[in-house]
Amino acid sequence: MPDSPLLIADHDAVRLITVHRPDKLNALNAATLDALHAAFDAAAADDSVRAVVLTGTGPKAFVAGADIAEMAGLTPVQARDFSLRGQRMMRRVEKMPKPVIAMINGFALGGGLELAMCCHLRIAADSVKVGQPEINLGLIPGFGGTQRLLRLAGRAAVLELCLAGAPVDAARAQQLGIVNRVVPAAELEAETMALAAQLAAAAPLALRGILDCVNVGAECSLEEALEYESAQFGLVFSTDDMREGTRAFLERRKPAFRGH
């Protein structure tokens, strides 16, 4: 649709989802949150898609934040509902059974950083800045920023970014553990799509098992998490991909995984 806030394209088994609101620096309004939720539902259900890359249109912004013009007129109840809407969408991304990479091509501020953090991996151009500047508007993060930043970077980092409200550059973000890789801006797309292609060629059910173990383990005790991992380890022994992978290793050839 010409008025869609997203652009969606497939590159073999990699789906590229681009937030496309260039006049708003790709800011997240309610319609964009809903479109993203639907797009990730569709990617999860499509067996031909094995990995997803999420980015924003243009060189300036990945996602500059939530749409302040839309938020400014909300009542307290509406604001809570808007927060929950974003939380549900980002939790949908976080719980995807397929790997999701945030390709951070520009500013990722407020809701933009929250969107990047709910992805499984983050690759940033060396020119970008990220942050949680909500304090400068008399607000707090509403799409999971305090909680995912706490889990990614720790208490000191979340307090630094959220209380001071100042963005940090890509090198500092990598140092804090917020992004996985920093690459020259000119190489960002090639590096990200190469990683996505690598993940798309991996065993899909094993990828899903790893993602499940990490999601479950982050929220429970070590003993429970280890038990869950053992159960998932046993489960993959029922797959054709496991037999193909071990056979290929013994035969010294590249495996051909099919997701069975």
Marked catalytic residue, from 70, 134, 187, 191: 134
Query: pLDDT by residue (tens digit) across 143-187?
Result: 999 999 999 999 999 999 999 999 999 999 999 999 999 999 999
Helix (H) or strand (E) holding 227: helix 222-236
Catalytic-residue membership of 114 = yes
**Across all residues in the chain, what is the average pLDDT?**
95
In CATH terms, the fold of domain 204-250 is Lyase 2-enoyl-coa Hydratase; Chain  A, domain 2 (1.10.12)
Residue-level pLDDT at 259? 84
Provide long-range contacts, Cβ within 8 A and 24+ apart, for 19-24: 19/54, 19/55, 19/56, 19/57, 19/62, 19/63, 20/56, 20/57, 21/57, 22/57, 22/58, 24/64, 24/67
How long a stretch of residues is the chain? 260
CA-based nearest residue to 129, from 164, 181, 187, 171: 171
Residue with tokens 């070590």: 222
Do 258 and 241 touch, CB atoms closer than 8 A? Answer: yes
Domain edges within the chain: 6-200, 204-250
Confidence of residue 2 (pLDDT cuts 50, 70, 90): low
CA 84/CA 45 separation, integer angstroms: 23
Do 211 and 222 touch, CB atoms closer than 8 A? Answer: no
pLDDT over 80 (residue 31): yes
Helix, strand, coil shares, percent, the chain, to 5: 50, 15, 30
The pTM (predicted TM-score) of the whole model is 0.94
Catalytic-residue membership of 134 = yes
CATH class of 6-200: alpha beta
Marked catalytic residue, from 114, 187, 224, 227: 114
Hey, is 123 helix, strand or coil? strand
